[in-house]
Structure 1
Amino acid sequence: MSKPLTLRTKLMAAFGAMLALMLLMAALAWRNADAAHGGFAHFVKDDTRRMALANDVLDAANARAIGARNLVLAASPADRDTEVRAVDAAQQKLDKTLAELQRMVAGDGTADEKRLLDAMLSVEAGYVTVAKDIVAKARAGQRDEAITRMNAECKPKLAALLAAANAFLEDAMKVAHASVDAAEKDFQANTRMLLAALAVAAVAATVMGVWITRDIMGALGAEPQALGDAALRVAQGDLSPVRGGASARPGSVLASLGRMQQALAQVVGSVRNTSDSIATGSAQIATGNADLSQRTEEQASSLQLTASTMEELTTIVRQNADTAQQANQLASAATLAAEEGGEVVGRVVATMDGIAQASRKIA
């Protein structure tokens, strides 16, 4: 039989699950943010940059055309030199812009972008030859020939170049709008995903919160403040029944506190009964001690009387001994006197016998 999960294990499991949900939501948010960042970076670095370059192509082409026109119309050599420098600057900008466009489209450009760029480069290749010839004629003072070729060839090629650049710009704008739409769709999808994850996390947190709360309250049996108050009352000697202890879940802190109160009450009752018994026994012992003390005093009096009697008896015995000694002395004297008297009597008897014999002789 498996052991029930401890409160610590349950709390760690609940918080671990919440941490896992938080990490999952953080991972989803990071993935969405990374995708949004990638889309935004692509929009800024690629889509917007392509549109900017297409506009630069248009600006440079127009600036070059205006410079060529002004060069043809310039009256002084100084004005022609100024316009030549303007045409050269516009041409350098145009070449640089087209080169950057070629690098970008060659990397991750779509088929339409490559096709439109090729068309624009093809038109530019034809245009630049005519433009350079017009500039050369204008610088050489061949104004009429330059104007004739400008009207005959340069304008149509310029119109074709601008049309190709506008077509590329429109395609770039279409791609940019598609990127924005895709980003919007991704944002909505990611938002729904995050909301779903948030709903799951909220439900899981609610379920785990209710479960943990019920489990903890079941394990405690009451609020911690109520348990503290009950324990304090017991500690202060109040052994009245703990409120709710009898109906608390077995094994809970409140139930254990109730059993502890009952056990303490029983122990105190037993101690009180034992104390009463000890008090009764002590009273009996005290009474016995009093009786024993009285008997001891009586015995002491008897012993004292006996001692007095023994002293008197000793005195009497001593007197009797003295009397006996005196009697013995008297007896000895009497014996001696008797012996002496016997001798006297013997002599008397002898004398009487002598007298008697003498008398008989006389007779």
Structure 2
Amino acid sequence: MYIMKKLSTKQLLISTFIALAMLVFLVSIISLRSLSDSDARFSSYFAGLAERGSIVTEFRSAANRRALAVRDMLVVPTVAERDTFKTFAVGASNELQTYIKKLAAKLAEPGSGSDRERALLAKIEKVEAQYEPVALLIVDLITSGKRDEAVEKINKVCRPLLLEFMAAVRDYNDFIKEQTAAEVSDSAAAYAKQRSILVGLSCFAVLAAIGLGLFLTRRIFGALGSEPADLSIAAHQIAQGDLREIPGAAKARQGSVLASMGVMQSQLVELIGQVRTSADSIAAGSAEIAQGNSDLSSRTEAQASALEQTAASMEELNSTVKQNAQNAGEANKLAESASAVALRGGEVVVQVVETMKGINE
């Protein structure tokens, strides 16, 4: 049971079907073996006791026909009729010998018959060995017209041997009946035993099937937590966005499909709540960002106006700088002119100095 609990649902299903198949196979094998044993017993009986009993009946009938034919030879009025019954008597005697040999051959087969049955047949053969010559002698006496001598042989020798022969045949026939009854009793006992085994195995198979079915149903129902139809309704409910509590999920076994769906439903509700809270926070943050953007836009406009003013001032400053540059250029030109004048003045001074030196010398 512990191992079965460790198996997965798929492994459990496969194991269950294999076990049931093996039980059915076992019952089938035992049934086939029982049928085979019954067929073997029937074949053995039919080829053994039944056939030997049939042979005994046949040679008993042949012995009766021979005795009746010999009797009729005494009472018929014509020679032709006497010859006809003689033919019947000799033919019946030959048939009787054939049947006795056939029965002896059957008992000589391996595993056929018992010592008692062979002893009974030996007794029949012994009596017949004494009776047949007497019966044929009586036939010859009647044929030769010695009726009185034939009657005397019948009364003194033939009748006692016939009675002894029929008694031996009757004993053999009774033995066959006893053996047949024993075979029937053994077959009935074997049938009862096999029936009990098959009934026991069938009951075990049924109980095993019921037990495995209940265990499998309990296992699958435990894994599902509810009927498949209820699970389908719950899944459809969640798929449509209906996140109300699933009926029975709270009481379902932990780990079952229904319990998992209940956990999923509660987590979805929690997740949606978190998403809603986050959405509200995002909306508030978005509003703050929009307000900040509005303030930033206002400040940007103010700064743009200041920048325009600064740009205008810069333009004025640029004009002033350009004018200063022009003035500086003109001053530079004037300075260059002054420098040239100063250079010429220096040269003049030098010349004056040299002139003065010349004058002094």
Query: Structure 1-normalised TM-score?
Result: 0.74
Residue 66 of structure 1: how far off its partner (Å): 0.8
Between stretches 58-67 and 25-34, larger displacement belongs to 25-34
Residue 57 of structure 1: how far off its partner (Å): 1.9
Look up the match of 1:337: none
Residue 231 of structure 1: how far off its partner (Å): 1.3
How far apart, in 2, do the equivalents of 1:20 and 1:32 lie? Answer: 18
How far apart, in 2, do the equivalents of 1:288 and 1:243 lie? Answer: 49
Look up the match of 2:273: 269
Cα gap change, 1:280/1:63 in structure 2, threshold over 3 Å: closer, same or farther? same
Amino acid at match of 1:191: R
Residue 296 of structure 1: how far off its partner (Å): 8.6
Q: How does 1:184-195 map to 2 (within 5 A)?
A: 184-195=188-199
Residues 230-251 of structure 1: CA distance to partner in whole angstroms, max 9, x if unpaired?
1111111111222232332222
Cα gap change, 1:88/1:280 in structure 2, threshold over 3 Å: closer, same or farther? farther
Cα gap change, 1:62/1:274 in structure 2, threshold over 3 Å: closer, same or farther? same
Q: How does 1:273-288 map to 2 (within 5 A)?
A: 273-283=277-287
Look up the match of 2:345: none
Amino acid at match of 2:46: V
From 120, 126, 129, give the equivalent of 2:124.
120
Q: Is the 8 A contact 2:90 2:136 kept in 1?
A: no
Amino acid at match of 2:77: A
Look up the match of 2:7: 6
Q: Is the 8 A contact 2:48 2:112 kept in 1?
A: no
Instruction: Say yes or no: does 1:166 pair with 2:170.
Output: yes
Query: Structure 2-normalised TM-score?
Result: 0.74
Look up the match of 1:64: 66
How far apart, in 2, do the equivalents of 1:280 and 1:95 lie? Answer: 127
Amino acid at match of 2:8: L
Look up the match of 2:100: 98
Amino acid at match of 1:21: L
From 190, 204, 207, give the equivalent of 1:200.
204
How far apart, in 1, do the equivalents of 2:171 and 2:102 lie? Answer: 18
Cα gap change, 1:294/1:135 in structure 2, threshold over 3 Å: closer, same or farther? farther
Look up the match of 1:20: 22
- Aligned identity (percent) is 36
Look up the match of 1:42: 44
**Structure number, greater radius of gyration:** 1
Between stretches 143-152 and 123-132, larger displacement belongs to 143-152
Residues 158-212 of structure 1: CA distance to partner in whole angstroms, max 9, x if unpaired?
1111111111000100111111112222222223323332333343333333322
From 59, 66, 75, give the equivalent of 1:73.
75
Between stretches 137-146 and 178-187, larger displacement belongs to 137-146
Residue 252 of structure 1: how far off its partner (Å): 1.6
Between stretches 254-263 and 133-142, larger displacement belongs to 133-142
Cα gap change, 1:268/1:143 in structure 2, threshold over 3 Å: closer, same or farther? same
How far apart, in 1, do the equivalents of 2:207 and 2:238 lie? Answer: 42
Cα gap change, 1:92/1:7 in structure 2, threshold over 3 Å: closer, same or farther? farther
Structure 2 residue runs without a partner (length 5+): 317-361
SS of aligned partner of 1:108? coil
Cα gap change, 1:303/1:159 in structure 2, threshold over 3 Å: closer, same or farther? same
